[in-house]
Structure 1
Amino acid sequence: MSVHIEKLIRRAPGNPDRILLDQVSVDIPDGSFVALVGPSGAGKTTLLRSIAGLDPHSSGLLTIDGRDSSELTPRERNVGFVFQNYALFQHMTVAKNISFGLDVLPGRERPSKTEIDARVKELLELIQLPNLGNAYPQRLSGGQRQRVALARALATNPKHLLLDEPFGALDPVVRRTVREWLRSLHDRLGLTTILVTHDQEEALDVADRLVVMQDGRIVQDADAAELEAHPATPFVMEFLGETLTFRGTVSGGLFLPETSHVVPFPVAIDQDGPAVALIRPHEVRLTADAGGAPVRRIGSRYGLSRLAVDLNGRIVEVLGASNEQIFPSGAKLHIDAARLFRDGALLSMKDGRHAAAA
């Protein structure tokens, strides 16, 4: 196991009553690409910095390659860290920025100048900037600076690459290109990569696993398919994408929505009682119904129609087939798939797309 964390607690410096990491436990195997995701203040960067040795934890166990981190200096942890703002030295050339970690090694560990120059050249080729070694950071684009920061982190041949919101300053087009390149680099070098991001789309694009954090705790740790099918809490479902919420009651194997014009549907739940159904905007069907909910087309997305449905004053946006544009007499809303929660815990996953319509 590359990184093993067990019941980690970190308290805020100067305020021991404020807990930044609360009983965090997670395993990150060799060669994996894991994303720590969640809103601001969830504890993602604090956890990353604890792994790097930049922030000490208050209690719990953190081992790296089987060694207790409390016995390791940040340098001995064999990690490369890329900061959110890149933290490049403006007075140094690209080449000197990349070689910095090697240049400051103790004399007995430092490679020769020839070896360092060869390593810098190798990394400039790797990040596809072979001719910019003599340039200064201010001459570079955001995407180029990001690559230089990655090269600097890789210069000492770390086994673990830690990335703190590395794409936040890039425009969307460049961001997509750089993260595709990063995933390719991870696979090529056999790294263990831990990415901090609040962007779920970014995490889904590059990571094998998502560790969802909230208020200093891990809420769920799973791959994208498992998170989508069986979110542990409504927060996980809502964080991962646009969500529609319908309150109602489970009775006799049916979910009965409180909202008018929403059709009841069967559920595999034994205990009757209140529940909340969470669905994605594309997991519904509309059928014409005289006196039903007014529907209007407000645009398109991914080849589907964006439809605004007026449920007695509550406007919900759903995605329908491209020919579903307007229902002059109104419509009923049929839920094809839903995750049902009670008291914040997942009760059941309903998927009627492969069964008879409710």
Structure 2
Amino acid sequence: MSVRLDSLTQYAPGTSRKLLDDISLTVEDGAFIALVGPSGAGKTTLLRAIAGLGGRQEGALHVDGLPLAGRPMRDRRIGFVFQNYALFRHMTVARNIAFGLDVLPRRDRPDRASIAARVTELLDLIQLPTLGGAYPDQLSGGQRQRVALARALATRPGLLLLDEPFGALDPIVRRQIRRWLRDLHDQLGLTTILVTHDHEEALDVADRLVVMQDGRIVQDADAETLDAAPATPFVMEFLGEALAFPGRIAQGWFHPDDANVLPLSTTAADGPASALVRPHEVRLVEGRGTAAATPLKGRQHGLRRFHVALGQRDVEILAPAEQADAPGPVALDIARARIFRDGTRLAFG
């Protein structure tokens, strides 16, 4: 099931304040995308708009090439999983899963035997075949999450919308559930849209990340593109730790303001700019500066963390552990930095 939004703008109730501002987005049939961004970016508002639950809007929303507006809920084939699962505590697992089928209009509702067979099928699918008679309070967080997903899948949706579905789970269970979810997505051939504030979670399961800020889409790309060519400093900093070095471009070189950071070549036009680089992309170069590098106890991805005193500021970088024994002052090589001016990426150094 495909989704297309064209210049969608949504307003806060009774006001002219924009909650979503000129959103255009295409989600291909069978894709798995993640909406990411800080709190208040508009992720859940956009997800609810795609479900047809938004308020006053301008623009167009099409699902499978047809306008969503005016289409009865039962005909939309959209499953929605909320962060708090929204399971009915007084109902068994089986009844929770069957709920979406039980409330269909009589002419569309399967018979009891068909509903029971569908529940059994879904219990097997979520790997909880013996827990149909249990109640939500008797389940672990991960099991409740699976039941919520099964309930969303009961009516055979083509589009699955997930709003921070892993937020209440501990880290180990979160990793297990999201990998299981990705496998389930592939197995059923769904189109899935996930909302999360955790970029690592999004990178683990999604084909594409849609980065949002202040009700707008800042960048829509796969993980490799977002890392190599972030559109703005915000995108780069949201997706991981980054060090910023202000400076100036002149005659094909970016010259950092700090003399202990080496220049890097660029094709960008002359003028003020800023270079952003990941801590693990920085190299310590002996004999080229006066900075002092001190090894710290922390390690990350097999690299040693170093505290570097540049003079006017201190930074922490990640470098091979053997550099802890390197004598003498150092300079920083930031040749892998991305260069920005006025909030827009200019070049990859």
Q: TM-score, normalised by structure 1?
A: 0.95
Report if the CA contact (8 A) 1:54-1:74 is conserved. no
Which amino acid counterpart does residue 94 of structure 1 have in structure 2? V
Report if the CA contact (8 A) 2:294-2:324 is conserved. yes
Q: Matches of 2:181 and 2:172 in 1, distance apart?
A: 14
1:25 paired residue number: 24
2:123 paired residue number: 124
Q: Matches of 1:44 and 1:6 in 2, distance apart?
A: 17
Where 2:279 maps in the other structure, the secondary structure is: coil
Report if the CA contact (8 A) 1:291-1:329 is conserved. no
Map Cα deviations across residues 44-102 of structure 1 (whole Å, 9 max, x no partner): 10010011112234110001111111121333211000001101001111100000000
Q: Matches of 1:227 and 1:273 in 2, distance apart?
A: 25
Which contiguous aligned blocks of 4+ residues in structure 1 show a shift greater than 4 angstroms? none
Tell me whether 1:190 sits opposite 2:177 in the alignment: no
2:215 paired residue number: 216
Report if the CA contact (8 A) 2:13-2:55 is conserved. no
1:250 paired residue number: 249
2:290 paired residue number: 292
Q: Matches of 1:310 and 1:328 in 2, distance apart?
A: 15
1:13 paired residue number: 13
Where 2:321 maps in the other structure, the secondary structure is: coil
Tell me whether 1:272 sits opposite 2:270 in the alignment: yes
Q: Matches of 2:321 and 2:156 in 1, distance apart?
A: 51
Report if the CA contact (8 A) 1:295-1:326 is conserved. no
| Aligned-residue offset at 1:260 | 3.0
Which amino acid counterpart does residue 132 of structure 1 have in structure 2? L
Tell me whether 1:55 sits opposite 2:54 in the alignment: yes
2:178 paired residue number: 179
| Aligned-residue offset at 1:203 | 0.5
Which amino acid counterpart does residue 318 of structure 1 have in structure 2? I
Which amino acid counterpart does residue 243 of structure 2 have in structure 1? L
RMSD: 1.2
1:281 paired residue number: 279
Which amino acid counterpart does residue 200 of structure 2 have in structure 1? E
Q: Name the CA shift for 1:326/1:247 in 2 (closer, same or farther; >3 Å).
A: farther
Which amino acid counterpart does residue 253 of structure 1 have in structure 2? G
| Aligned-residue offset at 1:329 | 2.6
- The answer to which of 168-177 and 317-326 deviates more is 317-326
Q: Matches of 2:210 and 2:45 in 1, distance apart?
A: 14
Alignment of 1:219-230 (within 5 A): 219-230=218-229
Alignment of 1:62-77 (within 5 A): 62-77=61-76
- The answer to which of 282-291 and 252-261 deviates more is 282-291
Q: Matches of 1:290 and 1:228 in 2, distance apart?
A: 28
1:138 paired residue number: 137
Where 1:337 maps in the other structure, the secondary structure is: coil
Q: Percent identity?
A: 62
Where 1:17 maps in the other structure, the secondary structure is: coil
Which amino acid counterpart does residue 211 of structure 1 have in structure 2? V
| Aligned-residue offset at 1:192 | 0.2
| Aligned-residue offset at 1:282 | 1.2
Which amino acid counterpart does residue 273 of structure 2 have in structure 1? A
- Structure 2: gaps (5+ residues): none
Q: Matches of 1:290 and 1:69 in 2, distance apart?
A: 62
Q: Name the CA shift for 1:116/1:262 in 2 (closer, same or farther; >3 Å).
A: same
Report if the CA contact (8 A) 1:263-1:333 is conserved. yes
1:154 paired residue number: 153
Report if the CA contact (8 A) 2:11-2:55 is conserved. no
Report if the CA contact (8 A) 1:95-1:120 is conserved. yes
Q: Matches of 1:310 and 1:130 in 2, distance apart?
A: 59
| Aligned-residue offset at 1:143 | 0.6
Q: TM-score, normalised by structure 2?
A: 0.97
Which amino acid counterpart does residue 141 of structure 2 have in structure 1? G
Map Cα deviations across residues 279-334 of structure 1 (whole Å, 9 max, x no partner): 11111110223862111111211111111111114221111112122544321111
1:238 paired residue number: 237
Where 1:195 maps in the other structure, the secondary structure is: strand
Q: Matches of 2:345 and 2:8 in 1, distance apart?
A: 26
1:333 paired residue number: 332
2:100 paired residue number: 101
| Aligned-residue offset at 1:17 | 2.2
Q: Matches of 1:40 and 1:137 in 2, distance apart?
A: 29
Q: Matches of 1:133 and 1:69 in 2, distance apart?
A: 34
Tell me whether 1:260 sits opposite 2:256 in the alignment: no
Report if the CA contact (8 A) 2:7-2:60 is conserved. yes
Where 1:325 maps in the other structure, the secondary structure is: helix
Report if the CA contact (8 A) 1:52-1:74 is conserved. no
Where 1:323 maps in the other structure, the secondary structure is: helix
Report if the CA contact (8 A) 1:50-1:57 is conserved. no
Report if the CA contact (8 A) 1:260-1:312 is conserved. no
Q: Matches of 2:321 and 2:16 in 1, distance apart?
A: 54
1:78 paired residue number: 77
